[in-house]
Structure 1
């Protein structure tokens, strides 16, 4: 039961968050329209536009979201999937702290889920820190 609460539920929730984000990102890449767009500050919209206009960063991020989200959902190399997502998660949390405070609740959820999984899989990451 503890494993379900501390690993499986956070893993699945994180996977679903990133799969929804990937679907929304690919919808924009294909159609130029978002499936949904939460309220975003002017500075946040400018940052998002810069990522999209770069031509390569947005598709790269959404591909990582998709692949890592599927890895987490299917429980295939989930510790690797979390490492793949960690830079994106860091940017999302900082984005909401600095540019779009209205999104802090979801950023907080994202940070808590990530911290739970990092702690649960700390033995897998230990060799990286030696």
Structure 2
């Protein structure tokens, strides 16, 4: 293991990326694996956590936009997806990541809004 100091590394989550500067730690010369020192590990993890929260926020905004386009309220959206009474609010605010099926359903309904009538009958 070889020490490294003050490097910039990129953290990614889905399509989001962030550069984290000033990282230090150890790197394996054979495989390239990295072990950050404690302060660097914490900053790298914080950057990754921030990307997760940003992704949740973006999905929530997308769900809100589609829901409003469909002219349904959060209670109706929750009923369509089988969630609890405040589930959609939590998705839209980014407090909770919606299941992929919910995101896919609303993206499909955006393209085919007439299908909402069929879902309401089910």
- TM-score grouping bracket, smaller chain normalisation: 0.3 to 0.5
* Greater share of residues in strand: 2
| TM-score, structure 2 normalization | 0.34
Which fold has the larger relative contact order, with Cα–Cα distance below 8 Å and residues 6 or more apart in sequence? 1
| Greater Rg by CA | 2
**By percentage of residues, which structure has more helix?**
1
Q: Give me the TM-score of the superposition, normalised by structure 1.
A: 0.32
